[in-house]
A and B are shown apart, each in its own frame.
Chain A
Amino acid sequence: MPLREPTFLILTALAGEPLHGYGLIAEVDRLSEGRIALRPGTLYGALDRLTDAGLVEADREETVDGRLRRYYRLSTPGATVLAEETERMRRNVEAASSRLRVRAELAGGMV
């Protein structure tokens, strides 16, 4: 089953470095160029599922301005799932690009 886009982006965000909740929201926003605006309730639901599936792990905790920050990191199985999904998407992109190239060439030849 392909990963849903928010899940894919959360795993991608964590592939760089461990992030806390707000950092993850900001990174997903940046990666999706503003299309995916996660809210905290949605984010923590996704993190719980990813933690249950063993794809994400707790990294460390910090207290900043009296507020708890818990950092999450991508686990080894999480990196494997992300790599498999990225490969699947890459094959799709290649197939689509190749056919679009052929289409463009045919259209060019007809002019």
Chain B
Amino acid sequence: MTDLERHYARLVRWFYPAGPRQAEIVGTYLEFAAPGRRRPAFADVTDLAAGGLRERVRATGLEAGARLAGVLSLIMLTALATGWFVVEVTTPTTVYCPGFGPFLSPGGVVWTAWLLAAVTHVLSPGRWTRHAIGAALLFTAAVVPVAALLGQYRPPLFVLLPQFALGVVALAATVPAPIGAVPGPRRLSSSSLWVRLLPIAAGVAPVLGWLVPAGYLNQPADTPGADYRWAAPVLLPTAGAVLLIAALLLAIGLAVREDYRGGWTLLALGAPIGMLLLDTIARNVTSVAAGAPNATYAALAGSALVIAIVAPALLLLALTLRRRSPVTRCDACGARVSRPERTRPGR
């Protein structure tokens, strides 16, 4: 065994799951290597690291579960963005809150960006949606310092943080589903037209179901409108509960068909659901710690930090445990063979 072969074998052992594929990859790298090379190139190391990570993620089923979580997140964030957009254009301005163009605050620009992302997802679900969601995430993060610099009112953090968390998970909906003829699961693919239309439908729902019946769209300009602080304590926990129930029902429905990606969907939605409950959690923390009804900034920040750490940690823990569980693979090609239907993409 040459030095180069030893180096490649070590790298492949580090990055790839154990299996017959390892010897094959080492063999191909050795054929690929320029004559006289003694050590793997840096590009080889990054290629192996990325390939190994993809292979491990693929083996767990996380990718397919995350894609479903992305679709659910996109539906929820569009519904919320529509509601907040209406709040921005209908709430009367005051001396202390003079407005930002046609909006109550710079938050109006943020919600517009999210609504544009939902429309982009219908028209072009891949790369362009990824860019649109990325831009909306930037606007959501930037509105805090921008509003501070301009001395403007802005949406509260307990409204912005869930939107940001939902947006990050929604990026998974832009990853294309595996190619090929796919039976049942394709109906749940994020690339299906009716699935792409769901966020838009969810955006229309709060207007027709909540804001029109409540009379917020046709109120006189001098009457108090729906405000973030009025709407959020009821709306956000309800949205969190709806998202949790939807993910649970989806997971159970898929599990009945021996499709267990719904578990990954639930785990991937941990941070957004937690953030939607942020105000409720912080209020309870403040109530217990200080006996006050309204959440303090410290309780909000502390709760957000705990959610931001615990939810991804649970996902990583599940990934680690899943990697350790044995997966039966075909000796010839490396594909899963324990159940023939598992070869269907998304399972």
Contact = CB atoms under 8 A, between A and B. Distances in A.
Interface of A: 1, 3-4, 7, 20-22, 25, 39-45, 48-55, 57-58, 61, 67-70, 72, 77, 80-81
Given A48-B55, A67-B31, A42 B180 contact: no
Contacts of A20: 28
Contact of A44 (B21, B178, B191, B336): B21
A10 B266 CA distance: 35
Given A49-B58, A53-B345, A25 B28 contact: yes
B334 A51 contact: yes
B179 A1 contact: yes
A70 B24 contact: yes
A54 B332 CA distance: 14
Contacts of B333: 51, 57-58, 70, 72
Contacts of A39: 32, 43-44, 47
Q: Which 3 A-B pairs have the closest CB atoms?
A: A41-B51, A53-B180, A21-B28
A55 B27 CA distance: 24
B343 interface: yes
Contact of A55 (B30, B31, B44, B179): B179
A1 B191 contact: yes
A24 to B, nearest CB: 9
Contact of A3 (B43, B179, B332, B336): B179
B29 interface: yes
A38 to B, nearest CB: 10
A44 B332 contact: no
B55 A45 contact: yes
A68 B334 contact: no
B177 interface: yes
14 contacts: A1-B191, A21-B27, A39-B44, A41-B50, A43-B28, A44-B55, A49-B178, A51-B333, A52-B178, A52-B336, A54-B343, A67-B23, A68-B23, A70-B332
A81 B176 CA distance: 16
Contacts of B344: 52
Contacts of A22: 28, 31-32
A52 B335 contact: yes
Most buried by B among A4, A52, A57: A52
A31 to B, nearest CB: 17
Contacts of A43: 28
A61 B334 CA distance: 13
Given A3-B179, A22-B32, A55-B179, A42 B27 contact: no
